[in-house]
Structure 1
Amino acid sequence: MSDPASPFATEEERDLPRVNLPGKTKAAILLIFLGPETSGVIFQSLNDAEIEVLTIEIARQRKISTEDKESVLFEFEQLMMAREFYSEGGLDYAKGLLEKTVGPGKALEILSRMGTSLQVRPFEAARTADPSQLATLIQNEHPQTICLILAYLQPDKAAMILQSLPADTQTEIAKRLALMDRTSPEVTREVENYLEKKLSAVLGQDLASAGGIDSLVNILNQVDRATEKTIIETMEVQEPSLAEEVKKRLFVFEDVVLIDDRGIQRMMKEIDPKDLSISLKGVTDEVKEKFYKNMSKRAAEMLKEEMAYMGPVRIRDVDQAQQRIVAIVKTLETKGEIIIARPGEEELIG
């Protein structure tokens, strides 16, 4: 039996019952099965209100039935298929291809359900992509190509990308943007399709069978500290019990104090010394001491000297260094090489 969500499934397999779920629940289920990395990227493009709603909804999904999962993924694939057909040649083209793929009746149902969602804005994939990744992908393209892409992006995202380009390229693109009038739909679609292929090669889609709080924790471990803080604080007000469960499982840099000395020593074999010195800027003495006491006296003194010598460090750099160390901790914990003594868990006997 083929996958019912596949466009090549038989007519019976395609005729899945549509589960009547609220939109926010469908979105939460989809994010869970897209996996933490892809969902983290999507979270970066949402506003605070949207993030708060989806965060709480993801945490509520304790157990997702096979029926709900297949229905949501199937509906999502239909949506993406229709959008792809539409972007290649308009509504008539989309209707024709859908009729060949799923039959006239099902095609009409899909198009009816899509409604206004087929009013696809050009470069939608670029609008939801990470700006730094997008900048890397297009930095060597022709200035006119970059100009066209930036013209369709959100102003703040376009500004971030423009700032990352060489000065002479910035000037050339700014000039072309100012003089830009109309671009034919064919050229726009050609550039958009080219960019989407490059983006899909970099991002991909990793479907993961995670769910509920564990899935949310994995996503939060991918976002920046400011976003994480906002989400947790909002959850503490709206869903205090959920927030407490999430905090128990969410590992932040300061939680290194929950790792035993042997685990700290194992971690330090993987940590870049520069990351360690930056990550300890601004943390509590308890956290610093956790590392100092697991180093030789000389090494600890050298680390302290390095921290004093580097002077003030940008908060963003500290956060990034801490996130790299947290990633190492998560990897070692998954492998069973270190143990985190989280509050509320059984005590360990050495």
Structure 2
Amino acid sequence: MARTQLSGRQKAAILLISLGTETSAEVFKHLKEEEIEQLTLEIANVRKVNNVEKENIMNEFHQICVAQDYISQGGIGYAKDILEKALGHQKAVDILHRLTSTLQVRPFDFARKAEPAQILNFIHNENSQTIALVLSHLDYEKASVILSSLPQEKQADIARRIATMQSTTPEVIRQVERILEQKLSATVSEDYTSSGGIDVIVQILNGVDRATERTILESMEIQDPNLSEEIKKRMFVFEDIVNLDNRSIQRIIRDLDNHDLQLSLKVSSEEVRDVIFKNMSSRMVETYKEEMEFMGPVRLRDVEEAQTRIVSVIRRLEETGDIIISRGIGDDIIV
């Protein structure tokens, strides 16, 4: 007899058992370590699955896959129309609810599928808050292109709004969606809220060209100096050193405090350490390794402060033109 109520994780475990070991192994390759652990435990707890239960779960999985395919073709509204015609209103709503609850189909799906130029044409006449809301939902590369293409007088205001954006209720999101895209259904998960924040605008600014970044930050510095400084701190992190060219790294090393660099390298990734040591003389590398070994345990706060000082040196060298930090759009053009 089928169990009366199964959790999503239990259904996933039964589905994987039904699919077989080879297919399940392929699925595991796309999961996070925590998800694999949870599913493995759930699979281990499954003792017996009857045919009715297995068939119901397989059917449910198939329905969700079909719905997801419809969404990818034409959005949630399109999927809802097709499913309603095939299965009826209530069944369609149930499937889409499960899909949006488990897969978190995000707002502004239509914008994420469009080209940056199309989105720009779509939103450029909207107010800054609306543009900020849309950009905060796009992938960072696409948002960077659009932000760079907006009028300069708007860029800093929009960047500031993204950085200071708080959670947005589903009602507000749906209202904006209805204005911008009539096809989009109002079936977005009620649990979903939108937030911009400093991390979001930092990722976007990391993708714009240097001139756009400078214009935005200089304007923002006048409007909100504290926010501007906080964004600047996060624009380049210590681990980003691996993305610099060898000449720049060698130039940076000359200006760094040895103790700060040794402190940072002591707890850095192997990749960062290799890049730094590759740009030192063998004698200097040997000295660094010895002094790092004698350093003993270090406090995380001390390491973070040392890395902040290093990042400040890197940003200063970039501002003076001694090094170039690639930022995407237009930065690989040499004039």
Could you state the TM-score of these two structures normalised by the residue count of structure 2? 0.34
Could you state the TM-score of these two structures normalised by the residue count of structure 1? 0.33
* Relative contact order higher in (CA < 8 Å, ≥ 6 apart): 1
